[in-house]
């Protein structure tokens, strides 16, 4: 999915056809980019009418004899559909047979446009896999060092599997631009290969979700001397964490945060006007219980913000596998300091009035329980078909979260 997060790159799945469907669906729904010609031009082998993530369609014999030949057939067909970079990713089974991808790439004359990932990434967290792939892509592209351009940053640690990542990206970019900063690249979230080449000239890497980019930021730092900063309150989710995030970026870039903070305050004002005009609304929210399961930086921002902002009581807080250890520890300390230690690292509770979790869990909870509000916030969400902005990150994300809670509250209470 990280390769698919690059606008002019293509992931090629080296594996059985059955492994393709889920990722193909995710890619198409998360990052639609079909041209006006529609799907008809993809009615060819390896695509079979679907534009994204062609597969080598391995069969039983390939697992026994190797599937080098398949890759040499796939590459010319796929490359005929154009891209600046082709990334071959092994399915878990294909990772065991050790096909000679470098030779296949060379025999197809794609040395400068095709790469592969040989490691078996099975059962590692989504965030770590995303991070690993983007780091591998940057290592493959190996852009030459460039002079740093002042007041330019990369927005890093956002994935196309984050809920409404496009709105999140535009919202966060708007804030940074308000501070006089230009976003050079957003690696893995709709950037181009050229933008990745340009990204090495940025002054700073501004981290959205640390779990999604811990290796990548180190890569930039070690190879290009680009420092990074992350939000002191976790990911930029909710007004307070966003403001802290902006202030930190401003300090690192010597920029004026006020214009960006003003944008956040205007969104806060919208909530204020709503709550002050209808005190019944805010009073109903205060004291509600919440559960969250997410990467620690996301869980921390949500927990701390909602606790302070409207008085939510976290009853279960679960940091996903692959969470940033420092974020996990800070979250644990916050809970401990507020007498909420019992909630730490517990499985999601069906008792919570509001639950923030991944898409699958949200679906199950929504069926299993008659009351309670469930918000699908996690990576892996495939409910990307809405049109209205529904991000999690940024000021619009804060409004979206509050809106979902308020609008579903009455329905939930009536059940």
Burial of 313 (0-12, 13-18, 19+ CB in 10 A): middle
Gap between the terminal Cα atoms of the chain: 38
Instruction: Indicate the residue among 286 and 368 with the shorter CB distance to another protein.
Output: 368
Choose, by CB under 8 A, the member of 76, 103, 371, 411 that binds another protein: 103
Measured from the Cβ of residue 64, the count of other Cβ atoms closer than 10 Å reads: 9
Site residue total, another protein (CB under 8 A): 58
- Tokens (6 digits) for 228: 């990074």
Smallest gap, in angstroms, from Cβ of residue 17 to another protein? 4
**Contact assessment for residue 377 and residue 219, using Cβ atoms and an 8 Å cutoff:** no
- Tokens (6 digits) for 181: 């900063």
109 binds another protein (CB under 8 A): no
38 binds another protein (CB under 8 A): yes
Choose, by CB under 8 A, the member of 109, 112, 119, 218 that binds another protein: 119
Choose, by CB under 8 A, the member of 313, 340, 364, 409 that binds another protein: 364
HSE of 263, CA atoms in CB hemisphere, 13 A: 19
Burial of 287 (0-12, 13-18, 19+ CB in 10 A): exposed
Smallest gap, in angstroms, from Cβ of residue 161 to another protein? 12
Q: DSSP letter at 393?
A: S
Select the span of 55-63, 146-154, 191-199, 248-256 touching another protein (CB under 8 A).
55-63
Select the span of 64-72, 259-267, 296-304, 327-335 touching another protein (CB under 8 A).
64-72
Instruction: Indicate the residue among 125 and 259 with the shorter CB distance to another protein.
Output: 125
222 binds another protein (CB under 8 A): no
Instruction: Indicate the residue among 119 and 342 with the shorter CB distance to another protein.
Output: 119
Instruction: Indicate the residue among 241 and 322 with the shorter CB distance to another protein.
Output: 322
Q: What binding mask, one character per residue, do residues 375-404 give for another protein by CB under 8 A, x or -?
A: -----x-x----------------------
Choose, by CB under 8 A, the member of 80, 82, 123, 415 that binds another protein: 123
Choose, by CB under 8 A, the member of 7, 8, 29, 73 that binds another protein: 73
Restricted to residues 78-97, the positions that interact with another protein (CB under 8 A) are 91-93, 95-97
Strand-pair partners of 11: 87
Smallest gap, in angstroms, from Cβ of residue 74 to another protein? 8
Choose, by CB under 8 A, the member of 110, 124, 141, 313 that binds another protein: 124
29 binds another protein (CB under 8 A): no
d(CA 213, CA 229): 11
Backbone angles phi, psi at 315, to 5 degrees: -105, -25
333 binds another protein (CB under 8 A): no
102 binds another protein (CB under 8 A): yes
54 binds another protein (CB under 8 A): no
**Contacts of range 375-380, beta carbons closer than 8 Å, 24 or more positions apart:** 375/401, 375/404, 375/405, 376/163, 377/163, 377/294, 377/298, 377/302, 377/401, 378/163, 378/293, 378/294, 378/320, 379/126, 379/127, 379/130, 379/159, 379/161, 379/162, 379/212, 379/295, 380/126, 380/161
363 binds another protein (CB under 8 A): yes
**Contact assessment for residue 354 and residue 289, using Cβ atoms and an 8 Å cutoff:** yes
What are the C-alpha distances in Å from 303 to residues 129, 265, 296, 349, 401? 25, 20, 10, 15, 12
343 binds another protein (CB under 8 A): no
HSE of 23, CA atoms in CB hemisphere, 13 A: 24
Which of 221, 284, 214, 291 lies closest to 252 in space, CA to CA?
Answer: 221
Select the span of 144-152, 166-174, 290-298, 358-366 touching another protein (CB under 8 A).
358-366
- Provide the binding-site residues for another protein, judged by CB under 8 A: 16-22, 36, 38-40, 43, 45, 48-50, 57-63, 65-70, 72-73, 91-93, 95-100, 102-103, 106, 118-124, 359-360, 363-364, 367-368, 380, 382
């Amino acid at each position: 999915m990280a390769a698919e997060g690059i606008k002019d790159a293509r992931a090629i799945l080296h594996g059985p056809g059955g492994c393709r469907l889920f990722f193909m669906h995710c890619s198409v729904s998360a990052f639609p980019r079909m041209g006006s010609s529609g799907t008809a031009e993809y009615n060819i082998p390896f695509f079979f009418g679907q534009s994204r993530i062609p597969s080598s369609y391995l069969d039983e014999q390939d697992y026994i004899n190797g599937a080098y030949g398949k890759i040499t057939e796939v590459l010319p067909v796929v490359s005929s559909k154009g891209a600046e970079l082709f990334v071959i990713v092994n399915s878990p089974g294909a990772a065991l047979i050790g096909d000679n991808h470098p030779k296949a790439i060379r025999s197809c004359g794609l040395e400068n446009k095709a790469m592969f990932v040989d490691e078996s990434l099975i059962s590692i967290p989504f965030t770590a896999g995303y991070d690993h792939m983007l780091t591998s892509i940057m290592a493959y592209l190996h852009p030459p060092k460039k002079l740093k351009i002042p007041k330019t940053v990369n927005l890093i640690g956002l994935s196309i599997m984050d809920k409404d990542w496009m709105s999140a990206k535009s919202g966060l970019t708007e804030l940074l631009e308000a501070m006089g900063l230009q976003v050079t690249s957003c690696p893995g979230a709709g950037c181009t290969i050229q933008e990745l080449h340009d990204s090495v000239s940025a002054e700073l890497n501004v981290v959205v979700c640390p779990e999604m980019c811990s290796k990548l930021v180190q890569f930039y730092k070690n190879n290009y001397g680009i420092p990074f900063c992350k939000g002191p309150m976790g990911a930029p989710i909710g007004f307070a964490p966003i403001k802290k995030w902006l202030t930190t970026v401003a300090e690192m870039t010597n920029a004026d945060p006020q214009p960006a903070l003003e944008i956040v305050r205007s969104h806060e004002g919208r909530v204020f006007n709503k709550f002050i005009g209808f005190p019944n609304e805010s009073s109903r929210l205060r004291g509600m219980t919440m559960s969250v399961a997410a990467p620690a930086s996301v869980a921390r921002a949500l927990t701390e913000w909602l606790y302070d902002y409207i008085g939510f009581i976290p009853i279960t807080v679960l940091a996903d596998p692959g969470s940033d250890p420092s974020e996990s520890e800070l979250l644990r300390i916050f809970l401990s300091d507020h007498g909420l230690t019992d909630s730490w690292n517990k499985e999601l509770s069906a008792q919570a009035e509001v639950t923030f979790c991944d898409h699958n869990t949200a679906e199950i909870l929504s069926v299993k329980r008659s009351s309670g509000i469930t918000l699908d916030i996690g990576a892996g969400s495939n409910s990307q078909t809405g049109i209205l902005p529904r991000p999690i990150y940024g000021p619009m994300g804060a409004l979206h979260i509050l809106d979902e809670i308020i609008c579903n509250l009455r329905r939930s209470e009536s059940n």
